[in-house]
Amino acid sequence: MVAGNMRAELARHYDLEPSLKAAEATAEIHARLARVMPFADWARHAPYVLAINRLKRDRNAVILAHNYMTPDIFHGVADVVGDSLQLAIKASEVEADVIVQGGVHFMAETSKILNPSKTVLMPDMEAGCSLAESITPEGIAEMRARYPGAPVVSYVNTTAAVKAASDVCCTSSNAAQIVAAMESDTVIMTPDQYLAQNVARQVPQKRVVWWAGACIVHERFTAGDLREFRQYQPDTVIIAHPECTPDVVNEADFSGSTSGIIDYVSKHRPAKAMLVTECSMASNIADALPEVEFVGPCNMCPYMKMITLEKILWSLHTMTTAVEVDPGVAEGARRAVQRMIDLSLKAAK
Ligand code: 13P
Ligand code: SF4
């Protein structure tokens, strides 16, 4: 649907004009993002937030939102927020009829795989991921031929078909645990070469080999940039996502999944923090941590940013577009994702 047509059609059903009255009615939500969005700006978002939250009740729907969603989505309409692992676990537990995925396509597929009887809606089917696009089941077969007998650990940032061709999945929060739990000395990790190299350092007892994919958001950060930044702001605590290169992770004070990053900053509350990851991360936690000044560069994920309040409203209004996964593929993918969840929960005990 062309943006202009979508807007016109939605305006026939909902009052979506900027409204101070709507902003006042949702002032409690605005208080959670006031540091990053002036009240006048919130007046543009509030009508959408009210319409979506009403429609969610009518449709018996929940919104699962990744930590990279913009603050209006993260604080305004999400029922569950989290990193990839947390969202996958929550998706498997959803009792509502409909899941709207605030995130990218592989996340919606994972929700469908784990809870197949639910309608899983993707507000924009084009919201992909450079990692998921970098590998196919043929690539997995190629790696298996190159390293016979070695298990394949695939990042959840992959298509259902790639998951089905893998032995087990991992996310950034459990990758080292999953690799360590493999019985073989050699472990194949796909498709993120940098996550694999970072894990290889954490699990020296394994020989980790990898596929050469990369995240277009995280590979742009350089260790040189971080060193230069530290020269001028030496008191900054630097926290990097493990999709960054090992050089960048080396320069950081801490590395972890998106929720790991949030937990670390919330616990340590440094005066200055640089989150070497997607830009919405700092925006989403800025109000909860007023004593922390977020400094330095961040990069936007063009795919995550395709998800907007308008598209979420359209998705719930029209009940499109539902994500479907071939049942045979889903069964194989479910085995790999469930094995990951079981190993993570076992390690957490
Ligand atoms: P997390 O699992 O850390 O949330 O990462 C997902 C992702 O796509 C990061 O780029
Ligand atoms: Fe994919 Fe990188 Fe965007 Fe995460 S940030 S969804 S890994 S492109």
In-domain check, residue 289: yes
Structural domain that includes position 76:
3-127+304-318
Under the banding of pLDDT at 50, 70 and 90, the label for residue 190 is very high
110 CB within 6 A, ligand 1? no
In-domain check, residue 54: yes
Helix (H, G, I), strand (E, B) or coil at 270: coil
Distance 159 CA to ligand 2 centre (A): 13
Ligand 1 atom 3, closest CA: 257
Q: How far is CA 10 from CA 22, 26, 76, 311, 318, in A?
A: 17, 20, 19, 10, 10
- pLDDT tens, position by position, 64-111: 999 999 999 999 999 999 999 999 999 999 999 999 999 999 999 999
Task: Name the packing angle between helices 327-348 and 105-114 (round to 10°).
Answer: 90
As a whole-number percent, the residues of the chain with pLDDT over 70 amount to: 100
Domain boundary residue among 195, 215, 235? Answer: 215
* Block residue for tokens 């047509």: 5
Q: Are residues 14 and 89 in the same domain?
A: yes
Q: Are residues 201 and 270 in the same domain?
A: no
Q: Are residues 122 and 139 in the same domain?
A: no
Q: Are residues 26 and 96 in the same domain?
A: yes
Both tokens assigned to 338: 């469930």
Which has the higher per-residue pLDDT, 4 or 312? Answer: 312
51 CB within 6 A, ligand 2? no
Ligand 2 atom 3, closest CA: 301
- pLDDT tens, position by position, 279-294: 999 999 999 999 999 9
Both tokens assigned to 292: 């922390």
In-domain check, residue 337: no
Three state DSSP letters for 187-245: EEEECEHHHHHHHHHHCCCCEEEECCECCCCCCCCCHHHHHHHHHHCCCCEEEECCCCC
Would you say residue 3 has pLDDT above 90? no
Would you say residue 2 has pLDDT above 80? no
281 CB within 6 A, ligand 2? no
* Block residue for tokens 């990898």: 210
Distance 132 CA to ligand 2 centre (A): 9
Q: Are residues 122 and 140 in the same domain?
A: no
193 CB within 6 A, ligand 2? no
* Block residue for tokens 């989150």: 275
Query: Could you identify the atom of ligand 1 that is nearest to the CA of residue 171?
Result: 2
Ligand 2 atom 8, closest CA: 129
Q: How far is CA 48 from CA 1, 20, 57, 63, 127, in A?
A: 18, 13, 14, 14, 21
Q: Are residues 38 and 152 in the same domain?
A: no
> What CATH number did the domain enclosing 184 receive?
3.40.50.10800
Cα angle, residue 82 at apex, residues 76 and 83 outer, rounded to 5°: 140
Range with lowest mean pLDDT among 1-5, 93-97, 190-194, 217-221 = 1-5
- Among all bound ligands, the one having the nearest atom to the CA of 220 is 2
Q: Using CA atoms, how far apart are residues 336 and 277, in angstroms rounded to an integer? A: 27
